[in-house]
A and B are shown apart, each in its own frame.
Chain A
Amino acid sequence: MRRPLIRLNPINRRRWAQFRANRRGWWSLWLFLALFGLTLVSDFIANDVPLLVAYDGELYYPVLETYPETAFGGDFATEAEYDSPFVAELINEKGWMLWPPIRFSYDTHDRKLGQPAPSPPSARHWLGTDDQGRDVLARVLYGFRISVLFGLLLTLLSSVIGVAAGAVQGYFGGRTDLLGQRMIEIWQGLPALYVLIIIASFVQPGFWTLLGILLLFSWTTLVGVVRAEFLRVRNFDYVRAAKALGVGDAVIMYRHVLPNAMVATLTFMPFILSASIVTLTSLDFLGLGMPPGAPSLGELLSQGKDNIQAPWLGITGFVVIALQLSLLVFVGEAVRDAFDPRKIQLGGGR
């Protein structure tokens, strides 16, 4: 509590050095973070409204707020259509507009395409459009963001539940453990994808419902390792000593045992993250994932399959997903090696 937030003890410092020494993992992490950071501000990169409008001496921020057409001297109280020549002329008379580099959002249907969708890459649509005339690059940006956010949330929640379940089983052992393990085995025996398909067929899943449904099956991943770690550590003298001091079970689990299980948990996390992303993508590919119209890499792949004459769809989807997952796996490998005690002793990393 009183110690500074980032004061690494020697072993963690060595792990950090070991992680950095793995160049592939280190650069993968930065590249991934850069891509993720970039997509986090997708609204400012790909949008069908200007970033900034100066009109009549005042500044407007259409990305953040919705302005009616009347604000710029138009006739309608509905939201201004900035790309219509009429509105553009109104604004340009008394000011200017600053557009994002990509003038389409993920759900903008380009009505001035001038050719049947899907249209091939051009100066207007760098990666072409999909079969509904939407800009592929914009959809990739938003899709990347949503898949990573979804994956992160799913990883976080399933780790919390998995660690808690594994901790309780391992710490108390005996009958609790036996019962829990058997129940998890039965649960894992269910064909998860089919159950997901069945559930998705009678509820129209949104972001959160999908998260909940996938959580039902993803939390079991960590239970095994955490349980094993708790089973091992609970017999350590200092855990018994804490018990004999009268420390409560919950506090012992959190303060004395959990830190030992964190290594196993952290090592698993990048892999859980990539698995979560794959699950979401495959559901989207099957059309059972995010609601129609939502930007999604799986949906892009499925369009690529349906429009074999438009290879830019399939290729884009493939490249983006392959890149994303490869980066995560590289990071995961580096994390795993950094926590491997044998590697630290042999490699030195310093």
Chain B
Amino acid sequence: MTNTEPLLEVDNLQVHFKLHGGLLGRHQATVRAVDGVSFRVDQGETLGVVGESGCGKSTTGLAVLRMIDPSAGSIRLNGDDITLYKGRQLRRIRRRLQMVYQDPFGALDPRMRVLDIVGEPLLVHKLTSDRHAYRKRVLELLDLVGLNPKMAERYPHEFSGGQRQRIGIARALAAEPELIICDEPVSALDVSIQAQIINLLEDLQSELGLTYLFIAHDLAVVRHICDRIMVMYLGQVVETASRDTLYDQPMHPYTQALLSAIPVPDPRAETAREVDPSLQGEVPSPVNPPSGCPFHPRCRHAHDACRETKPPLRELQSGHAVACHLYDPAASEVNAPWPVARPA
């Protein structure tokens, strides 16, 4: 962990959607999709964001990208507070933040050639001086993501899913962004192709010094590519830790439950594996979140405090923060039913 200014610093981000209904379109309820999320991403690292569907991880990504307006909180990119950027300023910031999408079939305009798709950011931000340089740069980018530059004249429907995802990555790279948000970039691909794309992302990172915000629900993929991982539940961060710490010593009951749900590629071990029963049932509705700790209705260790007060995100060890009453240092004794390293 360096003490330098982080590349991206998100503080108490909230994204609330208002639901309107009835005859007059009155305000009926609020969906707290993201409810007070804070994190930082350092230059050159990969932060993984994991959680079940509906936990607000994609919304967080879109809010950072400023595709959704945050309701509260701040987003700082390299020291610039971009939370309230509008119009021209906002469009200029788009160059510095790029996104790789989940669906490689939907994210490319079917009527455009690869040359025009990958080159669009170059045109929009006027990054190349003339047509020749433009073409050269696009071919370079295609080469960089492992596509044959001869394919530049083709249309998206002529490519496979993995190739299209490469095109999407080339487009994201075109503007030389500071941060790339990968929103489940491999979950729509075959497993064998997933590995290729993950390796490509890693190679590009070491080659170009990229920084990723990697949103996924597949913990195996996240383990492979991320340096640090943030676990979200119902719009809130429940645990942040470096990759190895998180996988070796998960602390939050939700993280433990998630990890117990990873299938093991060994039939005998797989049948013996015990999945935490917490993960059964539905995630509570973010319209009407539970009181106290958002996870308490599904948590097998829940006690009275969990139902009443919301646990703050406390840093227990350097870089390992958990929001759970089980680790409350103020409590008379550690309630955790398993051995826990107390903070120094």
Contacts and interface: CB of A to CB of B under 8 A. Distances in A.
Nearest to B131: A2
B106 A259 contact: no
B106 A245 contact: no
A255 B113 CA distance: 12
Contacts of A246: 91-92, 94-95, 121, 124-125, 175
Contacts of A241: 99, 101, 107-108, 168, 171
Nearest to B156: A238
A13 interface: no
* Max chain B C-beta neighbours (<10 A), residue from A9, A237, A238, A255: A238
A123 interface: no
B98 interface: yes
Interface string B83-120: 00000000110110111010100111111100000001
A255 B112 CA distance: 9
Given A245-B121, A247-B124, A238 B94 contact: no
Interface in A214-251: 236-238, 240-248, 251
Contacts of A9: 155
* Max chain A C-beta neighbours (<10 A), residue from B65, B95, B108, B124: B124
B65 A244 contact: yes
A206 B106 CA distance: 50
B325 to A, nearest CB: 39
A237 B95 contact: no
Interface in A240-284: 240-248, 251, 255-256, 259
A223 to B, nearest CB: 23
Contacts of B120: 242, 245, 247
A248 B212 CA distance: 25
Which bracket fits the contact residues of B? 20 to 34
Contacts of A240: 67
A242 B102 CA distance: 15
Interface residues of A, number: 17
Interface string B158-190: 000000000010010001000000000000000
Listed from nearest, the 6 A-B pairs whose CB atoms lie closest are A246-B94, A237-B106, A237-B107, A238-B109, A246-B91, A245-B121
A347 to B, nearest CB: 22
11 contacts: A9-B155, A237-B103, A238-B107, A238-B109, A241-B168, A241-B171, A242-B109, A244-B94, A245-B121, A245-B175, A246-B125
B220 to A, nearest CB: 25
Interface string B180-216: 0000000000000000000000000000000000000
Contacts of B92: 246
Contacts of B94: 244-246
Contacts of B109: 238, 242, 255-256
* Max chain B C-beta neighbours (<10 A), residue from A240, A244, A245: A245
B124 A244 contact: no
B98 A244 contact: yes
Contact of A244 (B67, B103, B111): B67
Contacts of B175: 245-246
Nearest to B181: A244
Nearest to B101: A237
B157 to A, nearest CB: 9
A299 B168 CA distance: 61
A236 B106 CA distance: 7
Given A244-B98, A245-B94, A246-B92, A238 B155 contact: no
B171 A245 contact: yes
Contacts of B106: 236-238
A179 to B, nearest CB: 14
A259 B111 contact: yes
Interface string B59-70: 000000101000
Contacts of A237: 101, 103, 106-107
Nearest to A251: B124
B232 to A, nearest CB: 21
Contacts of A238: 106-110
Contacts of A245: 94, 98, 120-121, 124, 171, 175
Contacts of B99: 241, 244
A236 B107 CA distance: 8
Contact of A248 (B91, B107, B111, B171): B91
Interface string A191-233: 0000000000000000000000000000000000000000000
B178 to A, nearest CB: 14
Interface in B117-138: 120-121, 124-125
Nearest to A3: B113
Nearest to B120: A245
Contacts of B65: 244
A259 B110 CA distance: 10
A247 B123 CA distance: 9
A246 B96 CA distance: 10
Contacts of A259: 111
Contacts of B124: 245-248, 251
A238 B171 CA distance: 12
A248 B91 CA distance: 8
B102 to A, nearest CB: 8
